Amino acid sequence: MTEASPANTETRGTLLVVDGHSLAFRAFFALPVENFSTDAGQATNAVWGFATMLSQVIDAEQPDHLAVAFDVKGGTFRNQLLPQYKGTREAAPEELLTQLPLIQQMLAALGVTYIEKPGYEGDDVIGTLATMGADANYRTLVLSGDRDAFQLIDDRITVLYPGHHFKDLKHMTPEAVEEKYHVTPAQYPDLAALRGETADNIPGVPGVGDGFAAKWINQYGGLDGIIEHADEIKGKKGEALRDNLEQVKLNRKVNALVRNLDLGVSIDDLTFGKPDANAVDALFKTLEFGVRSRSKILKSFNGGVKPALSPQGTDAARNADQPDEQALPLPELTVCADAAQIGQWVDANLADPWQQGMANNANDVAAQAGAGTWTLLAQGDPKPGRSTLDNVTVMAAGRALLIKTPFDEPTKHALAALLDEHHGTLAVHGYKEHLHLLGVAGLHLPEPKFDTKLAGYLVHPDFHADTLEQAAAHFLDLHVEDKKPQVTQGLLDLGDDNAGDEEPRENPNELTATRIAIVRALADTLAPMLEQRSQSHLLADIELPVSRVLHGMEDAGAKVDEQRLDTMREQFSADARQAQEMAWDLAGSRVNLQSPKQLQQVLFEDMGLKATKRTKSGSYTTNASVLQDLYVKYANDERASGFLGALLRHRETNKLKQIVQTLIDATNPKDGRIHTTFEQTVAATGRLSSVDPNLQNIPNRNAAGREIRSAFVPGEGYASLLSCDYSQVELRIMADRSGDEALIEAFRSGADFHRYVASLVYGVPVDQITSDQRSHVKAMSYGLAYGLSTYGLAQQLKISPSHADELKAKYFATFGKVHDYLESLVADARAKGYTETMFGRRRYFPALSSTNRVAREAAERAALNAPIQGSAADIMKIAMIRADRALREAGVNSRIILQIHDELVVEVAPGEAEQVTGLVADAMEHAVDLSVPLDVSTGIGDDWQLAAH
């Protein structure tokens, strides 16, 4: 049950050994020198980068001992063997070399030991320190971008090897080395000797890479064996090997690290955590590092010496590799060999009464609360329309079975049967994602019993767990290593090409066992919480069913007319270019119109326009509303108004161009459709959101932008698009919840709603309401649910605050119960700590009791809005489930493809228009029963724009 991790065998602490040169190089090339130099011209990018990167690693690994190794100028014994050795490194830029002493100075001030040994390299110092650490029973980490360090790896020594992004350090354990190179760490130098090392200017055997080297090593046991049998190796590569044997032998001598130098220090000397604040301060001042960054860095280096025992139980077990005090029961994991084993495994587990009994006892409470007893974990990338599947694991009664892709037919059938039989008791983390993943293998997952991702969202809707591990940390206080997200739909990987082979791998099976155990633990924890809060029905009746509908929508995608998009892009692009030319002409310089900073310079300094509003960071805003005001104000100044006009036009057309471009880029070449991802656990109010791309913010307010909607068309086999949207749902919810007779009557009357309300507010007959009066009342109505202020209303309507105040007073005099209702929302939230929608969806507002007025008032507005926006979201989700079911039960081919908060877009099959319009409108209108009707307006057309009504 316990893992065989080295950290488990009593260690005395953690030693971090850093390859100083490697880190300095990395820092230097990661940060542009131009941006990091003092007034005097001293480059500081490597110093700064070194400090931040090292502090990152310290924060992540929490070592209690630390040493940094450096090379010394002048040759080493290696140069005598191999004159060109590290010739490339000597060519380090001057600007980096001058920073090395500064880095050492900084380390000294920070209280960090650094070591160099004349005649030897930093690598040898590292080898020696690591050996010392391991011998003294320390968990030893070596931070180095030099692969020579891999030879040090064993049960006690792990190399932290930076990847493409420095942040994702790979923990190179023996397993990870074997996984990647197919040789043991001890054999790694043999492999490197054969392959050579370009970074160190060491030639290998021409034509021989990692693959062949590993093959030979495994065949002959190592380099000695290879040399012995060199004559037996056939082919070109064998010949090349024989021609270069001397070089290889030399390489091997050179790449062997010395591990027993006399450094004159002992491990006990390598503690840290007592920086010399004055020295650090002085140095950072001369380097012109800001005060804020200074304290940020100091913090990491202060923590080196930890108190023997932390009084707080929660933070005590932060150390990543230490097993947590809350033990996670890992399953006994079997890797599935063939399809027959699936059936056997199921039989064995179900037939074993002892195991069954154990499991039932352990899970009794949770099972009753609805957590289920089976657990499923599919791993891969669940991107709609292009997902990939790595493996599937099922778990029951403390045993797990891991099934790797590709599946053969019998395996598929066995798995399908298993899912079919047990879905009703299953827990997963992300039903929708699992539908995408399993869909790759042609499998369907019927609705599971429990979803830990959705449950976590219901319990704490404004907490965002991007990974399963983060959810574990939050809900279980279980801190396991957070490897890269595998189950979440990340925007992280840019293409799958090289993501695969650079993966951090500590025993992948162990990782899988941990992950599925987390899902189980989350289910057992969250199910009773939902039950206790009477939210289980939200999961079972809304979120889980809607996941399935969303999967269908994402999988279907939205067909776009690519030619039309291309044409539009060209048009917008040309318009933007023209506007830019004009702006440049009038400005007299080629300002970057997309740079607020440069615009501020031109507008408020060069042209001397009067700046008014500031941004939150204190600079003058150049947003559209300010530009518009200036445009009016400087109408007589030809140059200024011309520039402002051109700038506004550029802003608009360039934005449209950008939107069209992202749509083009997001179109799947296989089907010409855009498969967005609807995020079901992101918006704190219960709404959905749409990403990659966002199809919920396609322009709709002005004609030029709305044109983009005409590129959304029915796909092959479909005849038209249907758009159905709720009118004024949020206001109707307010009418219902408040019980305000006047507002209810306004909706029941079926009249022009805003005109009707205006006539009540102003006490004027309906036919005498002016368009101003109507629009003012309309803005007021809509603003209600946002907690608008007098000031905000005045600003939006461009009326005086006193006038706005008057409007507000009149409005609330007319609809008194609405006013009381809104106040009660905030008061209830303050009393209970949370708000609740019509269906029991909660959102917590700790900031309501904040002493900070700005924060508190913001929380009040959000608390006022959440139950209203959230109830509308609940209603739409119910409508989607109903509409989807109605369409399926009617046996039509039409399908929902998009949701934009209060609108559904349906792709309609030939001949189904009338029937489908009726079904969807009905599903929406009768999603819930309110004291006011839920009006739905519908439209149908050859594209999304034409479907508007």
**Contacts with DNA in 681-710 (CB under 7 A)?**
682-685, 687, 689-694, 696-702, 705
Q: Which is nearer to DNA, 4 or 40 (CB)?
A: 40
Choose one: 82-90, 352-360, 386-394, 787-795; the region binding DNA (CB under 7 A): 787-795
Q: How far is the CB of 363 from DNA (least distance, A)?
A: 33
Backbone angles phi, psi at 265, to 5 degrees: -130, 160
Backbone torsions φ then ψ of 254, nearest 5 degrees: -70, -35
Task: Compute the half-sphere exposure of residue 553: CA atoms within 13 Å on the CB side of its CA.
Answer: 27
Distance in Å, CB of 142 to DNA, minimum: 21
For the bound state, the minimum distance from the C-beta of residue 293 to DNA, rounded and expressed in Å, comes to: 3
Burial class (CB in 10 A: 0-12, 13-18, 19+), 689: middle
Contact present, 677 and 554 (Cβ < 8 Å): yes
Contact between 713 and 764 (Cβ < 8 Å) = no
x/- contact string, 653-682, with DNA (CB under 7 A)? --x--xx--x--x-------------x--x
| Beta bridge partner(s), residue 171 | 160
Q: Does 792 participate in binding DNA (rule CB under 7 A)?
A: yes
In whole angstroms, the minimum distance from the beta carbon of 379 to DNA comes to 23
3-state secondary structure labels for all residues of 835-848: EECCCCCEEECHHH
Applying CB under 7 A, does 645 fall inside the site for DNA? no
Q: Which is nearer to DNA, 265 or 604 (CB)?
A: 604
Cβ of 804: how many Cβ atoms within 10 Å? Answer: 24
- Residues 56-95 touching DNA, rule: CB under 7 A, are none
Site size for DNA, by CB under 7 A? 86
Closer residue to DNA in complex, CB, 597/888: 597
Member of 114, 289, 457, 815 binding DNA (CB under 7 A): 289
Applying CB under 7 A, which of residues 84, 295, 368, 595 lies at the interface with DNA?
A: 595
Map the footprint of DNA across residues 409-468, applying CB under 7 A: 462
User: Quick one: which of 596, 642, 645, 715 contacts DNA (CB under 7 A)?
Assistant: 596
Q: Segment contacting DNA (CB under 7 A): 396-404, 410-418, 784-792, 933-941? A: 784-792
Please work out, in degrees rounded to the nearest 5, the angle formed at the alpha carbon of residue 725 by the alpha carbons of 723 and 727: 150
Q: Which is nearer to DNA, 7 or 691 (CB)?
A: 691
| Placement of tokens 């991107």 in the chain | 383
**165 lies in the binding site for DNA (CB under 7 A):** yes
The least CB distance from residue 217 to DNA, in Å, is 31
- What is the Cα–Cα distance from 783 to 789, expressed in whole angstroms? 9
C-alpha 340/C-alpha 64 separation (Å) is 50
What are the residues whose beta carbons fall under 8 Å from the beta carbon of 594, sequence distance 6 or more? 654
Q: Which is nearer to DNA, 349 or 781 (CB)?
A: 781
How far is the C-alpha of 686 from the C-alpha of 681, rounded, in Å? 8
Q: Determine which residue in the list 1, 4, 10, 35 makes contact with DNA, applying CB under 7 A.
A: 35
Q: How far is the CB of 680 from DNA (least distance, A)?
A: 10
Stretch that binds DNA, among 36-44, 196-204, 211-219, 755-763 (CB under 7 A): 36-44
The H or E element spanning position 255 is helix 245-255
**189 prior amide bond cis, ω within 30:** no
Q: Which stretch binds DNA (CB under 7 A): 349-357, 764-772, 895-903, 933-941?
A: 895-903
Q: Print the binding letters for residues 486-505 with DNA: x by CB under 7 A, - otherwise.
A: -----x--------------
DSSP strands (E only) in 180-310: 196-197, 202-203
Q: Write the interaction track for DNA spanning residues 214-253; mark x where CB under 7 A is met and - where it is not.
A: ----------------------------------------
* 631 is an interface residue for DNA by CB under 7 A: no
AA identity, residue 532: Q
Q: By CB under 7 A, is residue 592 in contact with DNA? A: yes
Start-end of H helices in 483-623: 508-532, 536-537, 544-556, 562-587, 596-600
Whether residue 568 contacts residue 707, with contact meaning beta carbons closer than 8 Å, is answered with yes
Pick out residues in 713-742 that bind DNA (CB under 7 A). none
Residue (of 837, 935, 177, 914) closest to 538 by Cα position = 837
Interface pick for DNA out of 22, 44, 349, 536 (rule CB under 7 A): 44
Residues 6+ apart with CB under 8 A from 598: 591, 592
Give helix then strand counts, H and E, for the chain.
39, 25
Q: How far is the CB of 839 from DNA (least distance, A)?
A: 17
Cβ 741 to DNA shortest distance, Å: 24
Burial (CB count within 10 angstroms: exposed 0-12, middle 13-18, buried 19+), residue 493: middle
- Residues from 840 through 859 that contact DNA (CB under 7 A): 854, 858
CB of residue 801 to DNA, shortest distance in Å? 9
Tokens of 96: 């980096």
Identify which range of 60-68, 261-269, 501-509, 894-902 contacts DNA by CB under 7 A.
894-902
- Please select the residue that binds DNA; options are 334, 507, 571, 598, rule is CB under 7 A: 598
- Partnered with residue 427 across adjacent β-strands are 375, 450
Contact between 482 and DNA by CB under 7 A: the answer reads no
| Closer to DNA by Cβ: residue 422 or 776 | 776
**CB of 652: closest distance to DNA in angstroms?**
5
Q: Which is nearer to DNA, 47 or 441 (CB)?
A: 47
Q: In the window 361-420, what residues touch DNA (CB under 7 A)? A: none
Distance of CA 271 to the CA centre of its chain: 36
Q: How far is the CB of 535 from DNA (least distance, A)?
A: 18
Q: How far apart are the first and last CA of the chain?
A: 63
For residue 264, how many other CB atoms are within 10 A of its CB?
Answer: 8
Interface with DNA, residue 571, by CB under 7 A: no
> Does residue 485 belong to the site contacting DNA (CB under 7 A)?
no
3-state DSSP of 391-425:
EEEEEECCEEEEEECCCCHHHHHHHHHHHHHHHHH
